[in-house]
Amino acid sequence: MAGPAWRWRSRTQLAAALRSVRALQLQVPRAEPLQAALYVHWPYCRKRCSYCNFNKYIPRGLDEAAMRSCLTQEAQTLIQLSQVRRISSVFFGGGTPSLASPHTIAAVLETVSRCAHLAADAEITLEANPTSAGASRLAGFQAAGVNRLSIGVQSLDAAELRLLGRDHTAEEALGTLEEAKKLFPGRTSVDLIFGLPDQSVASWARGLEELLQQCDDHVSLYQLTLERGTSLFQQVQQGSLPAPKQEVVAEMYESAREVLRDAGFRQYEVSNFARNGALSTHNLSYWQGSQYIGIGPGAHGRFVPQAHGQSLREARIQTLEPDNWMKEVVAFGHGTRKRTVLSQLELLEEVLVLGLRMDVGLTHQHWLQFAPGMSLWDVFGTSEEVKELEAQGLLVLDTSEESHSLLRRQPVMQSPSSRWR
């Protein structure tokens, strides 16, 4: 295996660091900046994919006008509740939001602009499925205000696409990619899944290289997670499909990183690669611990409901099932099903977990935003676990005076335990 082995493994690092945070019993409140990202969930798909356990429904007699009106209503209610002045980015996810009409997308964006400031150059992303995103439709989305596209290509292999239960061919995916690149140059992303049953490292690398011939400046790679309740999970469980082998999947990951690096991509987050600075600002805001408002059935949010006079951030989940959600929105203006107040400590835990996903890690300034008056060194400097992880070459805690201090994962060359060989 060529090249250094990055180890994107935050769980031990996290557990270690968090124990240290806990020890300090942080109580300092902080003011949230008056802005948030907005996530919009479109819960419908045409067909069920074999690996997907998202909150999605195959619609029967969908009333899009009602859905549209509920989405706009909920956007308005929650933006007002949060009292943010500015929406920094919008992301339409799903489900398959490219099945929604451009009119619906436009209506949501209009509402957002009415309720808060939405900058003309704010990132507006739409997830698109190759079959539901022909050239004319894409143009319609662009006219509605979308300026970034994330295409669910998943694979360029016919057999793999069948296994995943996708309703498009590789050709259709490449066609959609071609159109998208014309409309959204430098702002088209593709999703790929790897670690499928029976997939080999070679076939994976071949597919990736093939895609790199045509793709734009952003790629997201997802290792297949067999989720309970999906048909793929069942098939593997029953033994009709082989479970992907840990070692093989790890090697796929290593080879993908190498291929992407050679093609000029920067791995700016655990599963995201960009070149020419085409990072997704919306997704970055999650990893930076910023506020976000989630609307639509089953959407998650993290924001301070300032209109209620609160100062602590809440974790919110909207009602899952679309019909119920709509009824609630009609009745109450929103369909929030669950609200959990996050303590200062819980917020910091999230900031840490998410921050470590980024290649830049957590900078001192970034950390201080959430833990005023308490430097990274104060919190992690004396942690035995952090020292241990540093010694193992898995983590860097740089607290030198002149540089901005930071905490980040370390690209590891080789396992230190090899000295026991």
Contact residues: another protein, CB under 8 A: 7-9, 11-12, 14-15, 18-19, 39, 93, 194, 220-223, 225, 246-247, 249-250, 253, 270-271, 283, 286-287, 292, 294, 298-302, 315, 317, 346, 349-350, 353-354, 357, 388-389, 392, 394, 415-418, 420-421
Q: How far is the CB of 257 from another protein (least distance, A)?
A: 9
Q: Cα–Cα distance between 370 and 362 in angstroms, integer?
A: 11
Q: How far is the CB of 36 from another protein (least distance, A)?
A: 11
| Contacts of 316 by beta carbon, 8 Å cutoff, 6+ apart | 294, 300, 301, 302, 303, 336, 338, 339, 340
Choice between 8 and 377, CB closer to another protein: 8
Residue 396: count of CB within 10 angstroms of its CB: 15
Distances (CA, A) of 90 to 119, 187, 281, 329, 410: 11, 14, 10, 20, 32
Whether the CB-CB separation of 56 and 2 falls below 8 Å is answered with no
Choice between 214 and 223, CB closer to another protein: 223
Element (H, E) at 76: helix 64-82
Choice between 179 and 194, CB closer to another protein: 194
β-strands 292-295, 35-42 pairing? parallel
Q: How far is the CB of 91 from another protein (least distance, A)?
A: 8
Choice between 38 and 405, CB closer to another protein: 38
Choice between 185 and 416, CB closer to another protein: 416
Q: List helix spans (H) across 263-375.
A: 281-287, 322-332, 344-355, 364-370
Q: How far is the CB of 121 from another protein (least distance, A)?
A: 22
| Contacts of 402 by beta carbon, 8 Å cutoff, 6+ apart | none
Choice between 23 and 158, CB closer to another protein: 23
Q: How far is the CB of 136 from another protein (least distance, A)?
A: 29
Q: Cα–Cα distance between 369 and 313 in angstroms, integer?
A: 14
Q: How far is the CB of 125 from another protein (least distance, A)?
A: 11
